[in-house]
Structure 1
């Protein structure tokens, strides 16, 4: 039987390098024979690794939730003996942003409480006290 393609054609199949019997272990080392021990399986991810990533992302978006998830991930990773870098980063970011939000909320409450107290004292109308104009609505 003849091959219709010329021998130097790019479509020529590669030459057979195996043995006539077709046994690949005769040509290749045992590691490449395709047996069950050819490759070691990938080690499983430590418990809490995905939780640490989710905690870090949520620390930027919803900081209290990210902080809690990062703490849980750090505990799980610590018990597994795995590195806790992402979990610690999530704890730091979540704590800092949570503290900033708490400070902002306290300041807003203080400012509005002062405004409500001033309007309660002055009554309805437009008032100017020490160069500050207050517009208080009445009922």
Structure 2
């Protein structure tokens, strides 16, 4: 079952533009804006799906990278502390 086609417009989705800009400065806001944009674009057929999708992918990659860095710091920081005692 496929979703009904939405008419294409020449308008750009403002949330997609905001998402691609903010994801480079604040990952969480970029992710939120990107998901909002994808939802609206699916309903309205506005332009900017690529921008929104890029913001979401970059945002989630940043979240994963941040989590891995924190895990690295916790593991090796704990090992360094335990080695000194």
Higher helix share: 2
The reply to whether residue 112 of structure 1 matches residue 77 of structure 2 is: yes
The reply to whether residue 99 of structure 1 matches residue 76 of structure 2 is: no
Deviations 1:29-51 (A, max 9, x none): xxxxxxxxxxxxxx8846xx111
The reply to whether residue 61 of structure 1 matches residue 25 of structure 2 is: yes
Deviations 1:20-76 (A, max 9, x none): xxxxxxxxxxxxxxxxxxxxxxx8846xx1111111112111112211210111101
Larger Rg: 1
CA–CA distance in structure 2, aligned partners of residues 118 and 105 of structure 1: 20
Long gaps (5+) in structure 2:
1-8
Deviations 1:98-132 (A, max 9, x none): 2111111111111111122223xx3xxxxxxxxxx
CA–CA distance in structure 2, aligned partners of residues 70 and 111 of structure 1: 34
Specify which of 25, 43, 51 is matched with residue 86 of structure 1.
51
Across the two proteins, how many residue pairs are aligned to each other? 76
Superposition misfits of 4+ residues, deviation over 3 angstroms: 43-46
CA–CA distance in structure 2, aligned partners of residues 114 and 44 of structure 1: 56
CA–CA distance in structure 2, aligned partners of residues 58 and 110 of structure 1: 31
The CA RMSD over aligned residues, in Å, is 2.0
| Contact 2:10–2:46, Cα closer than 8 Å, also in 1 | no
Long gaps (5+) in structure 1:
1-42, 123-139
